[in-house]
Structure 1
Amino acid sequence: MDDETADCPPSPRRRDREATAAALLDSAKAVFSERGFDAATTREIAAGAGVNEQLIQRYFGGKSGLLLAVVDRYGREEGQGCHLPPPGDDLEGEILRFLEAQVEHTWKCRDISKVVLDRALVDPEVAEHMGRTLTEARVPCLLDRLETLRARGLIDADADLPNVAAGLASFSFALGFMDRVVFARDPGRLCAIVRSLAQTVARGLSPQSRS
């Protein structure tokens, strides 16, 4: 493929397909959130998108594939949630901003998260997909930012940042979903937990703490 071909805009057919798929994902998220996976029907989802029901099978392989595609988009939104200001010279603030952003995003997506996690209990493919999506969406962006701060001398050279990033990513989802959604913990209490965690982790990662 030459450069001229590579720079060509997508064809009308491709644009139509992408628009249709996006409409189906929007409708699926709404219907799944309202009715749950089992009660939701492809007919209802297609009607909400204003398209032929057969396109769900063609584009996603059926209702289960459509749910996996919703999870994929959740992951892309997770990655967008990492679009924070450039890393500064404050490690604690960096960790705090990440945790706050991810806890808030999890809260905003609470309805579809309930459906996905419920389905994950009985469908190993959904469970694997959800776990991989969360890991790939949250961990890399935080790890990259922590590595940037380490390069500035703000983090100990021997700190195990991949595991730190994985732990913080998991903790942010647990706070945003389990504590706030399932256990209905007071948001003010969650803010205090997040601040305390950011402070404690920052102290543990700083070069001075290991000298």
Structure 2
Amino acid sequence: MPSSKPRRSPKPQERQRDPERTRQLILDAAEAEFAAHGFRGARTAAIAARAGVNQQLISYYFDGKDGLYQAMSQRWQELRRNLVPPGTPLPEQLRRYALQALDNPDAVRLFAWGGLEYAGPDSDPDRGPRAEQLGSSVEELRAMQADGRLPAELDPACLLVMLMGAAMAPTSLPHVIAGVCDADPRSPEFLKHYAEQVALLVQLLQQGGG
């Protein structure tokens, strides 16, 4: 919920900074803090300290913690559009998502925290944007199914959840991977191998739809 407190104008020395650079410093710090402690556990004072800025700038630029989280969500949507532009084959999409555990681990941990902290729609500050984003992915799977590229028996919505879970497993199930695969779940070698395996799984799934 947006803060009811009026925004504080930055001090003269703060106004001289590059506003966009300051925003990015805060967003980078917030991603690290939220990834480490979740939305509930993160503190704006800690975010400001990581960014090396005055804590009041978080309210000035983002209207508080909730607004900062929404801005991070928008940044992730932009990253997603660049990561998997329209027309990217489904196996390649999953390979790239799985590699985010290597290339952008804080973002994956942040997404996992969202699930761990979930206590209903009212506790989910990112519900609307995420539902819209994932809804388009479900429609993409449904279209593939209609074209015979996925088995007709599958529920596209459930399939999307399963594929997301598979892509996030190195972050959400590292202890299982360490025991079952006898590998370091955070090593580049394993993560690249795992991403290829997830892509292969989707390829085989698509072959079963024909």
Q: Please give the range of the TM-score, normalised by the shorter of the 2 chains.
A: 0.5 to 0.7
CA contact (8 A) 2:33 2:42 kept: yes
CA positional deviation for 1:133:
6.1
CA distance in 2, matches of 1:42, 1:133: 28
Q: CA deviation at 1:192?
A: 3.8
**TM-score scaled by length of structure 2:** 0.61
Question: Which residues of structure 1 form unaligned runs of 5+?
Answer: 1-12, 88-93
Is 1:124–2:123 an aligned residue pair? Answer: yes
Q: 1:175: which partner in 2?
A: 166
Cα distance in 2, alignment partners of residues 126 and 116 from structure 1: 9
Counterparts in 2 of 1:59-78, with a 5 A limit?
59-78=61-80
Cα distance, 1:190–1:29 mapped onto 2, change above 3 Å: closer
Identity of aligned residues (%): 22
Retained in 1: the 8 A contact 2:98–2:167? Answer: yes
Distance 1:101 1:156, change over 3 A: same
The answer (yes or no) to whether the contact 2:27–2:72 under 8 Å persists in 1 is: yes
1:124-203 equivalences in 2 (<5 Å): 124-126=123-125, 128-129=127-128, 131-132=130-131, 134-135=133-134, 139=137, 143=140, 155=147, 169-177=160-168, 179-184=169-174, 185=177, 186=181, 191-192=196-197, 194-203=199-208
Q: How many residues align?
A: 171
Q: Letter of the 1:46 partner, please give it.
A: A
Shift in Å, 1:167: 6.0
Consecutive unaligned residues of structure 2, counting only runs of 5 or more, are 1-14, 182-189
Q: Distance in 2 between matches of 1:115 and 1:196?
A: 26
CA distance in 2, matches of 1:68, 1:121: 18
Contact 1:175 1:190 in 2 (8 A): no
Give the TM-score of the pair, scaled to structure 1. Answer: 0.61
> Aligned match of 1:37 in 16, 36, 39?
39
Distance of aligned partners of 1:190 and 1:31 in 2 relative to their CA distance in 1, 3 Å threshold: closer
One-letter code of the match for 2:51? A
RMSD of equivalent CA atoms: 3.8
